[in-house]
Structure 1
Amino acid sequence: MLRSISRYFSRLIPFLFFIVHCSFSQQNIPPLQQEAILLSKVLEKNHYQPKQLDEKLSRQIILKFIDLLDPDHVYFKAPDVEAILLYSTSLPDEINGKSWKFLPQVTALYKQRLLQADKMSSELLQKPFTFLASETITLNIEDNLDFAATDKDYILRWQKWLKYQTLQQLVNLYDQKNISAPDKGAQVLSKEPAMRQKVQLIQKRAIKRILEHPSGFESYIASLFFRAYSASFDPHTVYLSKADRDRFEAALSTESLSFGIDLDEKDNGDIEIARVTPGGPAWKSNELHKGDVLTALKWQGKDETDLAGADIDEVETILETSATGKLEITVRKSNGGLQTVSLLKEKIRADENIVKSFILKGDKKIGYISLPGFYTEWENSSSQGCANDVAKEIVKLKHENIEGLILDIRFNGGGSLTEGINLAGIFINEGPLCVIHDRGTKPSVLKDNNRGTIYDGPLVVMVNGQSASASEILAATLQDYNRAVIVGSPTFGKSTGQVILPLDTSHIHPVNRVKPNLQAGYAKVTVSKLYRITGTSAQLKGVKPDVVLPDIYQNFYHRESMYPFALTSDSVARKIYYTALPALPITSLSQKSADRIGSHPAFATVKKLNEIQPDFFKETSQTIPLELTYFKTRASEMYNWYEAIEKVREKKTEIYTVENTNSDKELLRMDSYGKELNDHTLQSIQHSFYIEESYKIIGDLILLQRNK
């Protein structure tokens, strides 16, 4: 079989360098193979549920690798994929150091296909496109093996792909509100030459970004293979190149002015927010979140820069253009909508208060704290993390004589488990908080050993489908103790813990013939599972709220259960003794909330929008006609859908006003930019019908507990 593979590649790529069979002494193992061996050994030794690399797993890894290289299935041809998949039988031996043919041959083939696509797309984009209803394209193909079978099919697939991109650019030019009007057709088509040119620029930049990757082409392709290998263990085990790690560390520096966002270049070329730095301008705005995709940047007084096709280095260069000007950052949210946020750079200080509290002042005085992430001050042992900051804000709120507290952890993707545990301890007197199970050990209980609480009054915790990991541990613990009413929608469903390990021999058993590689990367490895104090797990299932609210984003969330290779949900048999508080009046609270929601215009709109989700959100298996009318109609439907969402946010609540604490008011008098951000946050809270309903729920809780 290997002979037939070699014949395919040698016929296709005459210049390809074949690694000959030789004695694999230490000095003869190529650096990238050394890194593959190190990655394999680190995962084998440290992963919670390691897998045996056999032919079946090798095939899954190779399919994922192909998908990372060619997510739209336009570069490779069907015979390419068939030949690559033949390596499923020999890949385990290659990872064990016996040979090294797979990665060099795929890398060379991929380079040839990129150059071919660059030349062909340039030629196809020289001629005007005609858009006919009879011509269709299928995107996000679910069948991993659906590639062009012949050269003729290959050209046709590229022609359709470029037409699709051109149509996308055409409709993006115009006001989406009126784009479906009949007289808009000719106006839109008049821009076809310019948009073809733009698509050519995007395509060339995309290919150039791969071929001239800062890490080097071969190293970049190897990193994708390592990511595919890691992802076969579970969704949260990730390979990080040294450059990725260096960029992450640089983003944590507090020595320079920053917007407080850490960027990542996704496999499809999108520039995504990978992290929002606690205390930074983006964090304070509460409008930029992990997973948002940057689409445009505009410095004050300058022209807007479209980021289509831009790589991460270009984007970071633009972000460094000025230290003092205001920047408009346009992002595409997880629901597909666009949002523009204006920010100024700030020096991020370790001693800065990065959690802010507010007072909802109506018939009851309720404290409100939003916590978008469980940070721990960047692993600085001399600093305090989010639990300490939340505690400080609660003390401020208690001085304001609040009657109840709302803790908002929606869109909180987790972070430091220690901080999550410490935060739970703020609200619980003492006792077990969760169970952690590391590979090869007995489950152990994580406890709150500090007797007493900082806040013991009525508590509501807001969650949604993006509340994950440490957020879920916090919500589950407070729910199991009957300490808080959990409000919102089911959480993400991630109950695993990870650590970042360097790929060196200190984290593996001795590796024969492999010497330490100082340029090797890192692996974020899943090393544990987390359980509730009841012994059950939120893995895959998430935490079910006590009071369910219709979720405007329910059709957009990617939950843990949707990911391939996600670890299963199970339970631990260990008996855990804890003393729950008296049961909360959940049934009464749920019924009262349901009655209000049934007559609330905003929630009625949310339910309707969730029921009439437009087809464009279901494109995974949809065949799309390549003609202008369809794209105009789709753009108009998208506009109307998002416009409906914005309208439900226009009405501000009349049942309370949102105020700062007295201590914050004093600080804001001396900070004009901070006041600008604060005013925006006040308005955002004032217009949130989710926070409004949470306010009513905690009001019901206070009354029910008083009347017991």
Structure 2
Amino acid sequence: MNIKRKTFSILFSCLLGSFLFLTTISAAPNYGTIAQYVANLIQNNHYSKTDFEDEVSEKFLDTYIKFLDSNKLYFNQKDIDSFQRKYKTTLDDYVFEGSIKPATDIYKLYVSRVTDRVKKIEETLNSKEFKFDSDRTVEKRRKESAWAADAKASDQLWENILEGQLLEEELRLKRQRDRAKELGKKLEDILGEDGKESPKEKILKRYTRFMETLDENDEEEACNFFLSTLSQVYDPHSEYFSQSELENFRVGMQNKLVGIGALLGMDDGAAKIQGLVVGGPADRGGQLQIGDRIVGVSQGKDKEMVDILFMKLNRIVDMIRGEKNTTVILKVIPADAADDAETELISIVRDEVKLKDKAANAELIEINDAENVKQRIGWINLYAFYADMERGTVSCSGDVKRLLERLKKENIEALVIDLRGNGGGSLEEAIRLTGLFIDGGPVVQAKNGKGRITNKKSKVPTAAYDGPMIVLTDRSSASASEIFAAALQDYGRAVIVGDKSTFGKGTVQTVMPVKQYMPAIFPKDTKDRAGALKVTIQKFYRIAGGSTQLKGVTPDIILPSYRDELETGESALPNALEHDSIAKMKYETDDITQMKNNLNKLSQERVKEAKEFGYIVEDNKKYKEIKDRNTVSLNINTRLEENKKEKERRKSRNDERKKLFAQIEEKEKGKYKVSRLTLENVESNKIEASDNFKKPEDESMRRAKDKEEELAEETPDFPHFLGPTKREALNIAQDLIRATKVKTAGGNSQENGS
């Protein structure tokens, strides 16, 4: 209740924690104490230095409710009013007193509301026939809508929603049957038992499965949701990790894990094997197969076999992962079992599993242009700035350097670094990667909550590659990707190409394991389940002084993108920190403004003539109209007519594409020669080349076949399997090679400083 706690909050929590330890009898983790420590850590360490008091409490409550019920489907206005009366300005008091009662109370009511709603859904589906002949509409998105006033209003809302979802399934079933007929098959022959499900059965199964994932007595789940919400009230990139989420975060950063190397998904309460990492422990053993269903897990011989049916997937994963060289025993229903009672036990020794599909890789692209001049371009794909920050055995910059050295040996004339979809990762790796392309110097500036400004520099005096260069980005390129792209743009070292801007995440986080801040005498069960807080501690700035926060990096050459009308990026996130600037640094820059202007002009002329970019602009306009309308008809005849027109539009476009693509293929025969480089073959003397860009089957993971893949509408492949964005990036690279060759030496270097 607006009590100043900052000066004594840590001491208070330590004393209270000790008291709880002395008085507790149960060995279960004390989630109230965990919440107390997390709240202290975030208010004392977050960049904003904002105390967790009444104003934050009010925002916290609203965010927690929307976190649970984001589309305003289960709670009603009476529930919201009750929560506001009880907790609007008291969440901070509960947390600092070591209680998460509001979290569990709200979560229990949420589970109750979901359970009751699923029962009503079943009753409605069993008793009512929907004719789909009204002139009513239903909202597609309800995030900005009002809560239903009461239970009666909720029932009416759900009747509309159910009718809309059933109509969608009816239309989907019709499309699938029509497509199966085009293929000369029955739908059941393609989808098996799934093809026999009625729309009502599918809808009921969907909600029943959702209900089964919820447990009103799961205090850890409620605490996890509660603390995740608290951290994101401060900014969208501060985040609380439960213990299992912390492990997944480490796996993502290190690009490896210790386990059995299997991809799991839920199937009727069991964990179904959807993929096996090639060369991983399960794959090497040969017993576990795709489609097998795990129903029990034991930690070794003579250890209890734990029934995992209807257990949450993340907990099952936690049980299967473990220490290297330890054994896990799985109780499995084989994929080809005649009966679910038929099970077998499979023992697997855990080992390190490298996630090769996320590792950096490259292409050596040889282009034979119209004048029979051959140009060699290197293309490096980097999906994340991964690093093993604990042991230093994994480094994306090290992997890129290996690929780069091989490309240099192949005498490339230009290089493209593809950061599309790269959401960031290690800040240190971004600095090291930048250092491969500049002759030492500052890379990024940072400012902490107290206003102290520091900078990070590359100390490598000579660039590993100093030739013509493009960095390809999109709206998903974030954080470390933006640091890298911004630095090379400021140095005039690369031409940035891509969507109208990158993501706009200009903040730095650190991970704080909560147990490290708890006294040694605390119960082990509480400390072991305390998780970690990823908290924003700095904002970073370009060496030119501007921040990428909110605004991102604006490319030198902007290409039309399907992401242009999507609500993505930092500006679409709640509680994002503001954009600002600081003084620029002194650094040597190469002024390539005129060259970039010329390249942009050439590119825009091609884009204007390119059919595929025209389709993107056309589709974006159509998507915006649909998004702004935010309603769909509940009349089946209206929807069938809309679907018919859309199908005709797609068919007309695909017919046009087939004709155009055939002409391009014929005209460009022999134009491309592509050699793929991975970390496994980068040292090989000879690497096979292809005449197209078709990606090989994922050799790192054997996956279950998607039954519905066969029903997908036939769309012609791009010529040479080369999409419009990559094609244009290569065109720009060729322009850049030509421009660099004719560039007058000297007079282009200047010092840029404050």
TM-score, normalization by structure 1 = 0.75
Q: What amino acid is the match of 2:261?
A: S
**Residues 545-556 of structure 1 mapped to structure 2, 5 A cutoff:** 545-556=555-566
Q: Report the secondary structure of 2:563's partner residue.
A: coil
Which residue is 2:512 aligned to? 501
Question: Is residue 582 of structure 2 the alignment partner of residue 576 of structure 1?
Answer: no
Q: What amino acid is the match of 1:169?
A: E
Change in CA separation of 1:520 and 1:639 when aligned onto 2, cut-off 3 Å: farther
Question: Is residue 728 of structure 2 the alignment partner of residue 693 of structure 1?
Answer: yes
Q: Report the secondary structure of 1:147's partner residue.
A: coil
In the alignment, the residues of structure 2 paired with residue 353 and residue 229 of structure 1 have an alpha-carbon distance, to the nearest angstrom, of 33
Which residue is 1:6 aligned to? none
Q: Report the secondary structure of 1:427's partner residue.
A: coil
C-alpha displacement of 1:483: 0.4
Which residue is 2:79 aligned to? 80
Does 135-144 or 115-124 show the bigger shift?
135-144
Change in CA separation of 1:667 and 1:364 when aligned onto 2, cut-off 3 Å: closer
In the alignment, the residues of structure 1 paired with residue 165 and residue 454 of structure 2 have an alpha-carbon distance, to the nearest angstrom, of 53
In the alignment, the residues of structure 2 paired with residue 301 and residue 36 of structure 1 have an alpha-carbon distance, to the nearest angstrom, of 40
In the alignment, the residues of structure 1 paired with residue 366 and residue 621 of structure 2 have an alpha-carbon distance, to the nearest angstrom, of 32
In the alignment, the residues of structure 2 paired with residue 530 and residue 639 of structure 1 have an alpha-carbon distance, to the nearest angstrom, of 47
Which residue is 2:673 aligned to? 658
C-alpha displacement of 1:90: 1.7
Q: What amino acid is the match of 1:92?
A: D
In the alignment, the residues of structure 1 paired with residue 575 and residue 279 of structure 2 have an alpha-carbon distance, to the nearest angstrom, of 36
Which residue is 2:632 aligned to? 624
Does the CA-based 8 Å contact 2:43-2:52 persist in structure 1?
no
**Residues 176-575 of structure 1 mapped to structure 2, 5 A cutoff:** 194-211=198-215, 217-248=218-249, 253-254=256-257, 258=261, 312=313, 348=354, 354-362=360-368, 363-379=373-389, 381-440=391-450, 442-489=452-499, 490-504=501-515, 506=517, 517-556=527-566, 558-573=568-583, 575=584
| Structure 2 gap segments, 5+ residues each | 2-15, 182-186, 188-194, 281-288, 294-309, 322-329, 336-350, 701-716, 744-754
C-alpha displacement of 1:683: 8.5
Does the CA-based 8 Å contact 1:494-1:540 persist in structure 2?
yes
Change in CA separation of 1:387 and 1:201 when aligned onto 2, cut-off 3 Å: same
Does the CA-based 8 Å contact 2:427-2:480 persist in structure 1?
yes
Which residue is 2:134 aligned to? 133
C-alpha displacement of 1:565: 0.4
In the alignment, the residues of structure 1 paired with residue 134 and residue 78 of structure 2 have an alpha-carbon distance, to the nearest angstrom, of 30
Does the CA-based 8 Å contact 1:430-1:448 persist in structure 2?
yes
Question: Is residue 53 of structure 2 the alignment partner of residue 62 of structure 1?
Answer: no
C-alpha displacement of 1:79: 0.8
Does the CA-based 8 Å contact 1:170-1:192 persist in structure 2?
no
Change in CA separation of 1:567 and 1:595 when aligned onto 2, cut-off 3 Å: same
Does the CA-based 8 Å contact 1:400-1:661 persist in structure 2?
no
C-alpha displacement of 1:152: 2.1
Which residue is 1:612 aligned to? 622
After superposition, the C-alpha distances for 1:169-218 in whole angstroms (9 at most, x for unaligned) are 22222437979x9xxxxx9xxx9982112211111111111127xxx523
Does the CA-based 8 Å contact 2:236-2:574 persist in structure 1?
yes
Does 528-537 or 86-95 show the bigger shift?
86-95
Does the CA-based 8 Å contact 1:385-1:419 persist in structure 2?
yes
Which residue is 2:325 aligned to? none
C-alpha displacement of 1:442: 1.8
In the alignment, the residues of structure 1 paired with residue 610 and residue 674 of structure 2 have an alpha-carbon distance, to the nearest angstrom, of 25
In the alignment, the residues of structure 2 paired with residue 534 and residue 645 of structure 1 have an alpha-carbon distance, to the nearest angstrom, of 46
C-alpha displacement of 1:437: 1.9
Q: Report the secondary structure of 1:173's partner residue.
A: helix
Which residue is 1:707 aligned to? 742
Does 26-35 or 195-204 show the bigger shift?
26-35
In the alignment, the residues of structure 2 paired with residue 461 and residue 358 of structure 1 have an alpha-carbon distance, to the nearest angstrom, of 16
Q: What amino acid is the match of 2:672?
A: T
Q: What amino acid is the match of 1:519?
A: R
Does the CA-based 8 Å contact 2:546-2:580 persist in structure 1?
yes
**CA-atom RMSD, angstroms?**
4.6
In the alignment, the residues of structure 2 paired with residue 460 and residue 500 of structure 1 have an alpha-carbon distance, to the nearest angstrom, of 33
**Residues 28-67 of structure 1 mapped to structure 2, 5 A cutoff:** 31-67=30-66
C-alpha displacement of 1:492: 0.8
Change in CA separation of 1:103 and 1:351 when aligned onto 2, cut-off 3 Å: closer
Change in CA separation of 1:321 and 1:175 when aligned onto 2, cut-off 3 Å: farther
Q: What amino acid is the match of 1:26?
A: L
Q: Report the secondary structure of 2:433's partner residue.
A: helix
C-alpha displacement of 1:56: 3.2
Q: Report the secondary structure of 2:361's partner residue.
A: coil
Q: What amino acid is the match of 1:91?
A: L
Change in CA separation of 1:453 and 1:641 when aligned onto 2, cut-off 3 Å: farther
Q: What amino acid is the match of 2:164?
A: Y
Change in CA separation of 1:501 and 1:637 when aligned onto 2, cut-off 3 Å: farther
Change in CA separation of 1:633 and 1:388 when aligned onto 2, cut-off 3 Å: farther
Does the CA-based 8 Å contact 2:375-2:734 persist in structure 1?
no
C-alpha displacement of 1:416: 1.2
Does the CA-based 8 Å contact 1:34-1:514 persist in structure 2?
no
Q: Report the secondary structure of 1:445's partner residue.
A: strand
Does the CA-based 8 Å contact 1:467-1:491 persist in structure 2?
yes
C-alpha displacement of 1:674: 9.9
| Structure 1 gap segments, 5+ residues each | 2-21, 182-186, 265-270, 283-298, 304-308, 326-344
Does the CA-based 8 Å contact 1:350-1:377 persist in structure 2?
no
Does the CA-based 8 Å contact 2:419-2:481 persist in structure 1?
yes
In the alignment, the residues of structure 2 paired with residue 431 and residue 696 of structure 1 have an alpha-carbon distance, to the nearest angstrom, of 31
Does the CA-based 8 Å contact 2:360-2:381 persist in structure 1?
no
Q: What amino acid is the match of 2:441?
A: G
Amino-acid identity (%)? 26
Change in CA separation of 1:501 and 1:352 when aligned onto 2, cut-off 3 Å: closer
Q: Report the secondary structure of 1:499's partner residue.
A: strand
In the alignment, the residues of structure 2 paired with residue 538 and residue 501 of structure 1 have an alpha-carbon distance, to the nearest angstrom, of 25
Change in CA separation of 1:150 and 1:581 when aligned onto 2, cut-off 3 Å: closer
C-alpha displacement of 1:572: 1.7
Q: What amino acid is the match of 1:373?
A: Y
Change in CA separation of 1:232 and 1:549 when aligned onto 2, cut-off 3 Å: same
**Based on CA coordinates, which of the two structures has the bigger radius of gyration?**
2
Does the CA-based 8 Å contact 1:466-1:557 persist in structure 2?
no
In the alignment, the residues of structure 1 paired with residue 566 and residue 331 of structure 2 have an alpha-carbon distance, to the nearest angstrom, of 34
Does the CA-based 8 Å contact 1:668-1:675 persist in structure 2?
no
Change in CA separation of 1:246 and 1:591 when aligned onto 2, cut-off 3 Å: closer
**Residues 14-33 of structure 1 mapped to structure 2, 5 A cutoff:** 25-27=19-21, 31-33=30-32
C-alpha displacement of 1:369: 2.5
Q: Report the secondary structure of 2:221's partner residue.
A: helix
Does the CA-based 8 Å contact 1:53-1:92 persist in structure 2?
yes
C-alpha displacement of 1:401: 1.3
Q: What amino acid is the match of 1:70?
A: D
Change in CA separation of 1:310 and 1:667 when aligned onto 2, cut-off 3 Å: farther
TM-score, normalization by structure 2 = 0.71
Q: What amino acid is the match of 1:131?
A: F
In the alignment, the residues of structure 1 paired with residue 173 and residue 355 of structure 2 have an alpha-carbon distance, to the nearest angstrom, of 41
In the alignment, the residues of structure 2 paired with residue 533 and residue 211 of structure 1 have an alpha-carbon distance, to the nearest angstrom, of 50
Change in CA separation of 1:646 and 1:314 when aligned onto 2, cut-off 3 Å: farther
